[in-house]
């Protein structure tokens, strides 16, 4: 898994999958010159910036984003709709975690 942001992410998104894959393999091969880095069996490159549902990467708050904004994002709606995932976690913000407090509330552990 690799992440990019800003102008670099916009540049990479404009490239074909084959060119992106070649760049990733070039980086890996330069990082590990004494190791054979094979071609991947499969390659998937989502284009987060150009996807109208995302318009960029997950959990990448701009400067000036306040803790209160984060609290509002994770607020429940009339105790019927909960928001969960790494974007709503203070402790695990910006990275994946298999469970969070919201999922524990909705699906209690046995």
Question: For residue 33, what pLDDT is reported?
Answer: 95
Terminal Cα-to-Cα distance of the chain (whole angstroms): 33
- Highest-confidence segment of 22-26, 66-70, 92-96: 22-26
Residue found under tokens 């790494």: 86
Cα–Cα–Cα angle for 99, 104, 110, nearest 5°? 105
Q: Which residue has the higher pLDDT, 28 or 8?
A: 28
Tokens standing for residue 40: 């991947």
What is the rounded distance in angstroms from the CA atom of residue 60 to the CA atom of residue 77? 23
The whole-model pTM stands at 0.54
Tokens standing for residue 85: 């995932």
Query: In this structure, are residues 59 and 94 in contact, taking their beta carbons and an 8 Å threshold?
Result: yes
What is the rounded distance in angstroms from the CA atom of residue 53 to the CA atom of residue 51? 5
What are the angstrom distances between the C-alpha of 101 and each of 85, 86, 88?
Answer: 9, 11, 10
Q: Which residue has the higher pLDDT, 101 or 4?
A: 4
Lowest average pLDDT, out of 44-48, 62-66, 97-101, goes to: 97-101
pLDDT over 70 at 77, yes or no: yes
């Amino acid at each position: 898994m690799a992440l990019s942001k800003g102008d670099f992410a916009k540049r990479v998104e404009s490239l074909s999958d084959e060119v992106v894959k070649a760049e990733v393999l070039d980086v890996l091969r330069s990082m590990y010159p004494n190791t054979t880095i094979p071609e991947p069996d499969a390659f998937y490159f989502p284009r987060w910036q150009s996807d109208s549902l995302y318009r960029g990467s997950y959990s990448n708050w701009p400067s000036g984003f306040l803790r209160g904004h984060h609290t509002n994002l994770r607020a429940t709606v009339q105790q019927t709709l909960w928001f969960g995932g790494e974007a709503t976690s203070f402790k695990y913000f910006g990275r994946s975690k298999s469970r969070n407090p919201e999922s524990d509330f909705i699906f209690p552990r046995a």
